Amino acid sequence: MLLSIFVTFILSCKKVEKNIGENVIFENGTNVQINLKPGLAVRIEPSTTSKKILEIPFNESAQIISCKKNNEILLNLSGSWCQIKFLDKEGWVFAPLLRLEKSNELPFRVFYGKAIRELPPEKPAPLSSKLVLYQVSIQGHDIGTIQFALDEKMGKGKKNSCRYWSGPPHTEESSQRHCDSSTILYKRNGNELSIDGKQYKWDGRFEGFISLDDNHDWKEIFAQAFEGKPHPEGEYNSWTLEESNCRFYEGDPYGGAEASFLCEKLGYDDSCQCFEK
């Protein structure tokens, strides 16, 4: 084995591989978390043949002391070794198996000598012939929510749009909800929806229907949000999943680009008078 770890083979879990060309760079003093299950070996020297000091369990926090500039390929990952501090111990670990604190990056397991991403279990799409789905848009203090009340048997539904201003000045007029409604055509084929000709597809990882017609690069968004792929303009600009609002955003959650998806979890807002219960 290249790294001294315990490996648990879970045949039923879903996995994706990290691109071998992706490099992970951490600055000195950065707080990180162990991103390998069940744990990561810490060594005296930056080498897999060096003596192991200890094994840090998955999700535990450590601090970067320094990182090597040269990259190696281990477990099908490209990256450098970093010296870290964990409690009162210091040693070397392979940087691609770390992640930033509070990151949504998916964890690794080792299968047949390769580090493989472990995806969360996918949940099935809702089966009801009547769906009520929501989609949000957040641009600064301008908040918009669309409610789709869909009836598969009737082949149609309603699109109820509600928008309001959430920021200063905080007046009764500025925070008033503005609503409008329209009738829409609706078709469903298993995990795929057609709403007024616009196509959506279910993704069970975050329990929503993603748009196939909005020119979103979902592959790139998922790679940054779940796999830790670096953003070309820096870590701050990476795509992030905001589960509470059923959307991904790039960089700034209030002013950056966003990619929303349809979901049930946003729920009914009784202040939007056009919404159906």
The mean pLDDT of 41-59, rounded to a whole number, is 97
Least confident among 20-34, 61-75, 196-210: 20-34
pLDDT recorded at residue 76: 83
What is the rounded distance in angstroms from the CA atom of residue 190 to the CA atom of residue 124? 10
pLDDT recorded at residue 19: 40
pLDDT recorded at residue 142: 86
Is the confidence at residue 219, as pLDDT, over 70?
yes
Whether 90 contacts 84, CB under 8 Å: yes
Count CA atoms within 13 Å of residue 37 on its CB side.
Answer: 12
**55: which strand partners?**
41
**Would you tell me how many other CB atoms lie within 10 Å of the CB of residue 109?**
20
Tokens of 258: 């966003």
**Which carries the bigger pLDDT value, residue 224 or residue 24?**
224
Tokens of 161: 């749009």
Is the confidence at residue 92, as pLDDT, over 60?
yes
The mean pLDDT of 34-58, rounded to a whole number, is 97
Which residues have CB under 8 Å from 214's CB, separation 6+? 259
The mean pLDDT of 166-183, rounded to a whole number, is 81
CATH numbers and ranges of domains, the chain: 15-118 (2.30.30.40), 130-260 (no CATH)
Can the peptide bond before residue 169 be classed as cis, meaning omega within 30 degrees of 0? yes
Percentage of residues in the chain with pLDDT exceeding 70? Answer: 89
pLDDT in tens, 126-147: 989 999 999 999 888 888 999 9
Q: How confident is the model at residue 15 (pLDDT cuts 50, 70, 90)?
A: very low
Is the confidence at residue 189, as pLDDT, over 90?
yes
**Is 0.75 topped by the overall pTM?**
no
pLDDT recorded at residue 157: 96
Whether 85 contacts 131, CB under 8 Å: no
Whether 98 contacts 79, CB under 8 Å: no
pLDDT recorded at residue 116: 82
pLDDT recorded at residue 253: 87
The mean pLDDT of 255-275, rounded to a whole number, is 87
